[in-house]
Structure 1
């Protein structure tokens, strides 16, 4: 059973950054979600790897980076596909798997496991989730195989960037947006339904581009999602040959055996030098800012 000492939840300054009590509770809640994912992976023979800031935090801080607020993991293509196929049947009641394959409204190109779909500040819930009332989860990023031929790799990269740029503006009714959509149709040889959910259509197209190549014909892995310098960088498959445990907030997470290779691709050779960043590429810090406003409005309504 996952437990934390009561003093763990005290707000404190870590490396010049103040981590509030609620963030500590959100950290603990996310670790609980990760442990459930880990249970499913162990049961089904699936390997996951801590990634992005979670991997860097494990190596450099033995836990969360003080100014980080979420957990990211990655899976190799076959494991990612298998996890999405079986997770819904394995997750506890009320938990949700969000992905392009099981949710018609979801538009992200990575999957997510969350503990609920609503804020809950009832005592029983707070007792179970370390005093965190917010929806918390873990992001699961698919690793992809990269073509060995540089020209083919460049084509894959350019296709992905074109579609991603179109997705970013697809909801804007401008000439520029329409020109980008037409470019996507031309280079990808598809027809987009302007009356449908364009963001989702483009996300599905990004998924097709991501899985253009498989392990049998390729020798290297990459993270195609354009969040960091690691995007489209070539990482030897040996770096992800297996996972090993590493300490993380008093428990442990699984990291790639070649974690140094991965981190150098992600953050550069000086990755052990902290650089304080208060928001990620996906959201403002803290991730529960909007949920907190909703909870405050709900409390006002009861007064």
Structure 2
């Protein structure tokens, strides 16, 4: 399956942040589903996407933004036929597992997927550079008993078994309570569990036996059910007339089988499925987190590729250097100090002659420097020439033994005029770094507001970026210059002398440095390097999300996803990061404090600013906050 490149980029859907590595996870599991789809079509086996996957297709046209897997359903008859043929059809990297296949399998849901972590080039290409294990869940619907009494009996047996299942799932398999439950289950169900073997597979095998109890029977009103739902008191009954004949539904742009009556089936499963619900456990979310250590070991250790930011307190330090503009104004201020000193010693002609000669040299040096950076014929240089003329007149007076009192007053007036004009002619420089053209809207309004400022020169610099392979290697360089709006002027990153120009401020919208598994800007533009070339490194995100309320159950997964945009080197290296709201500021501070340690809370409270976003029409507020920080 071919996906467009930008499918794999970090994205915000429905206010939820989705990192690029999750997009690769999605693409890989779709590839697995397509393999299952091929097998089912070949052998005329019915299946359909279900549960969260079906909700995603119906409500979002693809994955629920905070979901990370694919669920399908089969009736038991179709599943049995699938299980008979699947192994001979599968490519070697895929594995099928179920309770029928393996005594060690410990889930009532069967699965088909990648069975290991791999850096094999061919496999990475096929599964869209996703190196981790991944699988689709196959839920099996079973026949319902012909009469209510037999169905109730099955349900009562499963409810008894659920008491033991609770102990096993909570890994509470010792003590009096456990033994009491075990004895109750064994005596009631007339079974015996082998204490020398893992209990979880045994519990699920027995549950599966109960699920299949009426296999082949023509149940009441042709109903099937997701029988394991009894464990959570949520048994779902599916009228086959609402399932078959199957329809199709688009999922991430691909048509897959779906129930005949999608709305009816989803209401059976969820009642109000149309209202997004982000609550639910964050355990094992995202699904590939638990494999990261193994992946790092396979890479050859953490030094091979830092795709997870490792915080160092030194990253918070920014040793700020003066640029040439600062030096020029510093010299001008020094001239003023010397002018005041001369006033206090205006009768000491030898001293005055020495200082006046030094001021002449300094003024000429300043003039030459300004011409080199601003060109000739500036008003400031003309004023400096006048300043030098006054110096000469003062010098002549001292040689004649006269006090240059009037000239010293004129010097101060001319110098102050020179400083005033120079601030207009040699503005402070803000350099805005831009990687992807599609994210320009996140900064455009701010840029336009900054252009209104008379004291700032604002430059736009598109920079190259590239995608990473699944093993961390960088792919070919991308450069979006032609895709940016044509009515703006852009600075060439190849010719801009960062070490000479040293802009007062650099604005970045990519905080990741090397710590994004899918995307990287050119390493020269990493925040760790950029702060060497400016007094103020600012971060303005390219995105906004739904506000994340720290500690709220509904935002649990969103808080996990903050690992991918908040716990990043750019936030540490930046002097200030400008966040969309006060609620998000709190979430950032709590997340970063949790990540780095309580002793750094004060640093984050200083660095993280609630400022609004251009994407929310708040460019005026954002600009005000940025200037407050720069001028404060």
Same fold per superposition (TM over 0.5): yes
The question of 1:86 aligning with 2:85 is answered: yes
- Residue 243 (structure 1) aligns with: 246
Q: Deviations over 1:162-221 (max 9, x none)?
A: 223313324511222222222221222112222223222211110111112245331311
Q: Trace 1:132-143 onto structure 2 (pairs within 5 A).
A: 132-143=130-141
Equivalence for 1:158: 156
Q: Which has the higher helix share?
A: 2
SS at match of 1:216: coil
Deviation of the 1:129 alpha carbon: 1.2
Equivalent in the alignment of 1:77: 76
Shift of 1:297: 4.4
- Equivalent residues of 1:30, 1:138 under 8 A apart: yes
The Cα shift of 1:227 comes to: 8.7
Q: The residue matched to 1:207 in structure 2 has which SS? A: helix
**How many Å apart are 1:256 and its aligned residue?**
0.9
Alpha-carbon distance in structure 2 between the residues aligned to 1:271 and 1:174: 42
Q: Is the 8 A contact 1:77 1:143 kept in 2?
A: yes
Change (3 A) 1:278 1:28: farther
Corresponding position of 1:292: 292
Equivalences for 1:1-303 in 2 at 5 Å? 2-115=1-114, 117-147=115-145, 149-170=147-168, 172-214=173-215, 216-218=217-219, 219-226=222-229, 231-268=234-271, 270-277=272-279, 279=281, 283-299=283-299, 301=301, 303=303
Measured on the aligned residues, the alpha-carbon RMSD in Å equals: 2.1
**What TM-score, normalized to structure 1?**
0.91
Distance in 2 between residues matched to 1:196 and 1:119, nearest whole Å: 27
Q: Contact between 1:144 and 1:224, CA under 8 Å: does it hold in 2?
A: yes
Structure 1 stretch 38-47 or stretch 91-100: which is displaced more? 91-100
Q: SS of the counterpart of 2:229?
A: coil
- TM-score, normalising length from structure 2? 0.45
User: Hey, what's the Cα distance between the residues in 2 that align with 1:198 and 1:90?
Assistant: 32
Q: Specify whether residues 243 and 138 from structure 1 end up closer, same or farther in structure 2 by C-alpha distance, changes over 3 A only.
A: same
Separation (CA, whole Å) in 2 of partners of 1:104 and 1:88: 17
SS in 2 for 1:239: helix
The verdict on how the C-alpha distance between 1:134 and 1:278 changes in structure 2, with shifts beyond 3 A counting, is: farther
- In the alignment, the residues of structure 1 paired with residue 250 and residue 281 of structure 2 have an alpha-carbon distance, to the nearest angstrom, of 24
Q: CA deviation at 1:298?
A: 4.2
SS for the counterpart of 1:75 is strand
Q: In 1, are the aligned partners of 2:97 and 2:111 still within 8 Å (CA)? A: yes
After superposition, the C-alpha distances for 1:52-99 in whole angstroms (9 at most, x for unaligned) are 101111111111000000001010010011111211111112311111
Residues 273 and 302 of structure 1, relative CA distance in 2, 3 Å threshold: closer
5+ residue gaps, structure 1: none
Shift of 1:300: 5.8
Give the Cα–Cα distance (whole angstroms) in 1 for the partners of residues 179 and 147 of structure 2. Answer: 32
- 1:164/1:206 contact within 8 Å kept: no
CA separation of 1:165 and 1:242: change in aligned 2, threshold 3 A: farther
**What is the CA–CA distance in structure 2 between the aligned matches of 1:191 and 1:59, rounded to whole Å?**
45
CA contact (8 A) 2:158 2:231 kept: no
Q: Deviations over 1:6-58 (max 9, x none)?
A: 01111111111101100000000000000000111011110001111011111
Relative contact order, CA 8 A, sep 6+: which one is greater? 1
Closer, same or farther in 2 for the Cα pair 1:65/1:302, shift >3 Å?
closer
Is the radius of gyration larger for structure 1 or structure 2?
A: 2
Give the number of aligned pairs: 298
SS of the residue aligned with 1:38?
helix
User: Where does structure 2 lack aligned partners over 5 or more consecutive residues?
Assistant: 304-632
Deviates more, 1:130-139 or 1:156-165: 156-165
SS in 2 for 1:217: coil
In 2 relative to 1, CA 192–229 (structure 1 residues): closer, same or farther, beyond 3 Å? closer
Q: Shift in Å at residue 154 of structure 1?
A: 2.8
